Amino acid sequence: MDNQPITVSFTPETRAFTLKIYANNAERVTKRLKKLQSNIDKMNKEKEALQKELEGINNLIRQVSGDAKAIGIPHTTMSQNNENLAQNDNNYWYNLLPPIDNTGYNPDFKWEQKIDYILKNAPCPLKLKQVVWYLINIDNSLKDSSQDYVFKSVTPCLSRMAAAKKVFKGKDGRQGSLYLHPSWFADGKIKLEFKDKVANIELI
């Protein structure tokens, strides 16, 4: 018997069914490729954000010694609070932020006044968790309070202040909003003396 190539004949119904299977497989593979590409794009963005964050951390580390010395605040209490927070806070780098001068701060302030004081005297725009960290460090009335309690107290108040334009919100490409004090601005523009503090910050 001669070796003849095997041929398969398709009925119209079989051909349509086979093409449908191939089309479904192609669609499935295409969707998976798009999802993989989306994940790659997301990881690249996260990588860029982490690189920016690392750069910011290194800048803050370099500022700590000089800023703390200029302010002249005793560091005993601050350092102890840092150690306590570090044990319960995975984001320990927050503890490397320069201290805020608490001259004029009153623990009896209402929440809005507390937040206003922190943002006005902050070394840079702050994220919500950084506002909480500063409050715990300079407010003696909160020294025995949990971060969760302070966080839940600050969050709605800060949102109301932002809605009323008592604080400004910004972003720098990383996750989460940054908060800035209105005194840093004049006629909708950043004051010259605060330009270094808000480099690469976009108001929202």
Express each pLDDT in 107-161 by its tens digit: 999 999 999 999 999 888 898 988 998 998 889 888 888 888 999 999 999 999 9
DSSP secondary structure string for all residues of 99-168: PPP-TT--TTS-HHHHHHHHHHH-SS-B-HHHHHHHHHHH-GGGTTS-HHHHHHHHHHHHHHHHHTTSSE
Q: Of 179, 178, 117, 106, which Cα lies nearest the Cα of 142?
A: 106
Residue 48 has pLDDT above 80, yes or no: no
How wide is the angle at C-alpha 82 spanned by C-alphas 79 and 85, nearest 5°?
155
Find where tokens 């910004």 sit.
Answer: 170
d(CA 142, CA 136) in angstroms, rounded, equals 6
pLDDT category of residue 69 using cuts at 50, 70 and 90: very low
Q: pLDDT-based confidence at 64, cuts 50/70/90?
A: low
pLDDT value of position 9? 63
Provide mean pLDDT across the span 5-14: 65
Question: Look-up: residue for tokens 């999802």?
Answer: 35
Q: pTM to 2 decimals?
A: 0.54
What span, in angstroms and rounded, lies between the C-alpha atoms of 128 and 131? Answer: 5
Confidence of residue 4 (pLDDT cuts 50, 70, 90): low
d(Cα 142, Cα 29) in Å, to the nearest integer? 55
Burial of residue 180 (number of CB atoms within 10 Å: 0-12, 13-18, 19+): buried
pLDDT at residue 74 is higher than 60: no
65-87 average pLDDT score: 47
Hunting for tokens 């919500």 — which residue is that?
Answer: 128
Residues 152-175 have a mean pLDDT of 88
Residue 101 above 80 pLDDT?
A: yes
Beta-sheet strand order (sheet of 202-203): 178-180, 168-171, 202-203
pLDDT of 184 over the 80 cut? yes
Higher pLDDT, 34 or 131: 131
| Mean pLDDT of the region 186-200 | 78
What are φ and ψ of residue 103, in 5° steps?
Answer: -65, 125
Q: How far is Cα 74 from Cα 14, in angstroms, rounded to an integer?
A: 84
Distance CA 72, CA 103 (A): 11
